[in-house]
Structure 1
Amino acid sequence: MAGTGQDPNDARLARVERQYWIDRNVALEDAEAWLAELGEGEHGATARRLLVVVAAVRIRRGDPGQIAVQVQQILSWAEQHGELALQSRCHDVLGSVFEMVGDRALALEHAVAANDLLEDSEVPLMRAAARKCLADALGSAGSLDEARRRYDDALRLVIDDPETIIRYNILNNLAYTEYLAHNQAAALAAVEQLIGLSEVGDRQIGMYALDTVARVYLTAGRLDEAEAKLLPAMDPEVGDLHPDGSAAALVTLAVIYRTQGKLHQAQTVIDRCRELAQRFGLIRWSTEAAREQAEIHAANGDFRAAFEAYRHFHEQSEALGASENESRGRILEAVYQTAESRRESERYRELAERDPLTGLRNRRFVDEHLGAALMRVREGGPSVAIAMVDLDHFKRINDTLSHEVGDTVLREVGSILITAAASAADGIAARLGGEEFLLIMPGIDATEAHLRFDAVCRAIADHDWSSITGTLPVTASLGVAVAPADGQQISDLLRAADVRLYVAKRDGRNRVVQAAIVSTSNPVAELLEAR
């Protein structure tokens, strides 16, 4: 965050922006003190660059939605006044915001813009920061080779800059990217380089980086070294200073102890993690602690307690997903409200109505568009066919393989459903949550609906899943309803489809049910059991 113009304030601004990569608390104090000196009034790009420094520091300490709004407003000003350096810094912060809330597409878009807008005169530190931002976004999007190249570029730019912490950030993020991609040798090389840099520079590694090192050591079978790296996380003073990083480290430490067979120590650690997460409102790590608690119970042979803990984990996981989706939606809506062009507003609306995992439409979109289609039905328009699609025994895939494999299955099923929806004019494929999907086909009558949805059922069952799930099959049960015969309101139509989905589950799964008599007085309860 530094520039090279002729303004006498440039040197001071450069120092504040550089301080961000040395000590962020000091950078925050310096930026806020200067803003106080400037006072009210119009102070051009200088004041706005200071505000971006403040936003960059506060991004993990406050409401990311509020930060996104403020930075978007600054970006709009910078675009109007041709301030390229300020535009680049705004895109860098916005990229981090969207990375935090899991919107990989927007994170990558802003990271690319941050790099494209850099001027030739920009200092190496700021070019390295922009490269790191782009590498992070590329890694999250799965473009590992491109991410590695940007991380290497960033390291070369700051190779002779021992004062700042950016090299540690780059190496940590590179190691974590390789770890997530299961590239053990590359991840190990990156963490060893990180540790070597720490020893040469006599600088302590932060808790997030220690967690990365420990995770990599764990996968390499170096359990004692992994344990040693994370023991500081048990220190209450460390936890109070760095609660989020410490909670992450405690989850990993519990996994290490469990792997070593030290179940009593694992329980002590996970209890400490839960207490820390509850005290600081760390929902993500409370959820991860619930999953590890289930593993500890299972390792102790207490499978009933393990089942209850897994159920608690899934409940928390669903709540966390909903919270993250809500946060993402708030940010998108906020940016939508501050964007000035129609193209941007339409794009943000589109993103807010899609499920981030599969790219399918979400419940918000369904409520709006299915409601409009049924209104046309009530006015004498064409029929509308829907199918509730629920994957059979999906929990078995998550529990037997992994949640990552489960996510891959969901994305693949999403692709099948997108193809199916495209066969009908204005067809819609949506994910309602978990492993439950919805297909909407306007203009399709009951006879045609059964043919089309039966083809969907067969397409899922006949798909080659071997490279994803091995020998585990992937099938789906479908419950079909057609308006107006089965209802002309959203709730009525979904209820009819859901009851028929229950029948499909009850009668053996991997089938389509379009008309059925249900004798149970509580089909919803039995449906939960059938799934």
Structure 2
Amino acid sequence: MARIEREFWIDRDVALQAAEEWLAELGEADSGATSRRLIVLIAAVRIHRTDPGQIATDVQQILGWAEQHGEVALQSRCHDVLGSVFEMVGDRALALEHAVTANDLLDESETPLMRAAARKCLADALGSAGSLDEARRRYDDALRLVIDDPETNIRYIILNNLAFTEHLAHNQVEALAAVDRLVGLSELSDRQIGMSARDTIARIYLTVGRIDEAEQMLLTAMDPAISDAHPDSSAAALVALAQLYRLDGRLEKAQLVIDRCRDIAQRNGLNRWLTETTREQAETHAANDDYRFAFEAYRHYHEQFEALGASENEARGRILDAMFQTAESRRESDRYRELAERDPLTGLHNRRFVDEHLGLALMRLREGGPELAVAMLDLDHFKRINDTFSHEIGDEVLRAIGRILIDAVWAVPGGIAARLGGEEFLLILPETDANQARAVFDELGRTIADFDWWPITENLPVTASIGVAVAPLDGEHTSDLLRAADTRLYVAKQAGRNQVVHA
């Protein structure tokens, strides 16, 4: 996983292929964090290539699963992708909210590359929101984390985004300093500058009058091999090149670039750059004194601009609606899931819930997690209660036992009390060693025996036999642990009942 996530910052197409192949190999065999993390990585690659609304919906669903199962790293990656989606559709507030959450959830044990990626995402969102000082600080943090990482392209992206953020804020001295660092890094590493960075560098060169250098940066976008491979960034660069030629009086060249840019934008559905191309066309007609054509082009630009704004608003609304529907569906699903995993009589969890959560807890233990204690509990002579009174009285006893067991595990974070069937129960105490388990379960046995049963069973006592097991001492897998607890429960019954057996 670390190798594929790293490849994302080297060659995204290679990362995409590797992630898709691994996902296909896993198939239905993996329904956990691994497959979902691969899906989120695939979404991060495709975010500029497909419907962002569908990506947001899919990632939101995975985020819900990650929150349910405590998968913090997966949560962070989901928020990172959602932040990028909302940055794309112009919702800066939500982009910033997701970027902040992605960073808050990121553990310091994460690789420097992934921490740098999260810092960059946050810096981008802060810069868009106008918090330049905070954005600079996060960009610097990100660069420090990957200062000795020559293999990936993340340093170039960070410097490019820093330069563009300063440029938008009209801080041209700072923007030029970032560009110089970017160009110097490229020369030092003998690495080609990407099309998006070329666009940024050229725009900043133009503001300081370095026209020839800006032109050389942008001319690459006229190469069909380059522009077809990177249509979005090439279209942006061609708009800048057309503007350069127009301002420099080279109007014929400006028109050639405009035609090329319009063709790329139309073929690739790049409505934003098609709109910008129309605006540049109007400016070029005006520079040629073709005021009638300039007016027509401006009118067309205004229509496109209005349509683009409406389209972006519609996209934001569609994404938010899809995410809302997903969240509502998840809440409804959670409600039915909760009902399906509860015993209706006692309100305790059932065997289905135990099988899933005990398995996960033991998996974490095998990966170096904390100890875990379980107890099998069986009510002594329960049949006598049903025979002496009625099944309704027996149900009252079971409900009372349910309340006692809930109180017993309440003090242990993540503690689980479950009814396995009939008068048999299971308790699970995470992060509990043998000594702590002895204290809790011995106290539980006394609590059941000392409970005021008179209002329910009159003079008939209610006691329980309890068998305890602790992982990893008694086993690291569900079957081993429950077998040990069940054996000790049997010993407790054979030894006279109303007692707790720990070993």
TM-score class, shorter-chain normalisation, is 0.5 to 0.7
Q: Deviations over 1:192-244 (max 9, x none)?
A: 11111111111111111100000000111111110011111111121111111
| Alpha-carbon shift at residue 103 of structure 1 (Å) | 0.4
Partner of 1:211: 199
Q: Distance in 1 between matches of 2:49 and 2:63?
A: 21
| Alpha-carbon shift at residue 42 of structure 1 (Å) | 3.9
Q: Distance in 2 between matches of 1:51 and 1:342?
A: 19
Letter aligned with residue 333 of structure 1: D
Partner of 2:296: 308
Partner of 1:139: 127
> How many residues were matched structurally?
331
**Contact 2:64/2:330, CA 8 A, preserved across alignment:** no
- 2:149 equivalent among 161, 176, 195: 161
Kindly name which structure, 1 or 2, has the bigger radius of gyration based on alpha carbons.
2
Q: Are residues 1:94 and 2:55 paired?
A: no
Partner of 2:242: 254
Partner of 2:64: 76
Query: What's the secondary structure of 1:339's corresponding residue?
Result: helix
| Alpha-carbon shift at residue 341 of structure 1 (Å) | 9.7
Letter aligned with residue 225 of structure 2: E
Letter aligned with residue 31 of structure 2: H
Q: Distance in 2 between matches of 1:161 and 1:39?
A: 34
**Quick one: structure 1 residues 106 and 342, their matched pair in 2 at CA, closer, same or farther if it must change by over 3 Å?**
farther
Query: What's the secondary structure of 2:98's corresponding residue?
Result: helix
After superposing the two structures, state which structure 1 stretch, 164-173 or 293-302, moved more. 293-302
Partner of 2:315: 327
Q: Which runs of 5+ in 1 are unaligned?
A: 1-12, 344-531
Query: What's the secondary structure of 1:308's corresponding residue?
Result: helix
Query: What's the secondary structure of 2:28's corresponding residue?
Result: coil
| Alpha-carbon shift at residue 116 of structure 1 (Å) | 0.3
Partner of 1:54: 42
Partner of 1:241: 229
Q: Deviations over 1:319-347 (max 9, x none)?
A: 1111111111111111111125999xxxx
**Quick one: structure 1 residues 281 and 341, their matched pair in 2 at CA, closer, same or farther if it must change by over 3 Å?**
closer
Letter aligned with residue 94 of structure 2: L
Q: Identity over the aligned pairs, expressed in percent?
A: 77
Q: Distance in 1 between matches of 2:296 and 2:194?
A: 35
- TM-score of the aligned structures, taking structure 1 as reference length: 0.61
Partner of 1:108: 96
Q: Distance in 1 between matches of 2:17 and 2:36?
A: 16
| Alpha-carbon shift at residue 150 of structure 1 (Å) | 0.4
| Alpha-carbon shift at residue 276 of structure 1 (Å) | 1.2
Q: Are residues 1:187 and 2:159 paired?
A: no
Partner of 1:526: none
Partner of 2:110: 122
Q: Deviations over 1:358-378 (max 9, x none)?
A: xxxxxxxxxxxxxxxxxxxxx
Q: Deviations over 1:169-198 (max 9, x none)?
A: 100100100010011101111111111111
| Alpha-carbon shift at residue 41 of structure 1 (Å) | 4.2
Q: Which runs of 5+ in 2 are unaligned?
A: 332-503
Letter aligned with residue 36 of structure 1: A
Query: What's the secondary structure of 1:115's corresponding residue?
Result: helix
Q: Are residues 1:151 and 2:151 paired?
A: no
Letter aligned with residue 296 of structure 1: T
Letter aligned with residue 111 of structure 2: V
Q: Distance in 2 between matches of 1:147 and 1:280?
A: 32
Query: What's the secondary structure of 1:39's corresponding residue?
Result: helix
Q: Deviations over 1:288-310 (max 9, x none)?
A: 00100111111111222211111
| Alpha-carbon shift at residue 134 of structure 1 (Å) | 0.3
Partner of 1:287: 275
Letter aligned with residue 279 of structure 2: R
| Alpha-carbon shift at residue 43 of structure 1 (Å) | 3.1
Q: Distance in 2 between matches of 1:26 and 1:104?
A: 30
| Alpha-carbon shift at residue 281 of structure 1 (Å) | 1.3
**Contact 2:77/2:102, CA 8 A, preserved across alignment:** yes
- 1:175 equivalent among 163, 167, 183: 163
Q: Are residues 1:264 and 2:245 paired?
A: no
Letter aligned with residue 18 of structure 2: D
- 1:26 equivalent among 1, 5, 14: 14
**Contact 2:73/2:105, CA 8 A, preserved across alignment:** yes
- TM-score of the aligned structures, taking structure 2 as reference length: 0.65
Letter aligned with residue 156 of structure 1: R
Alignment of 1:117-516 (within 5 A): 117-340=105-328
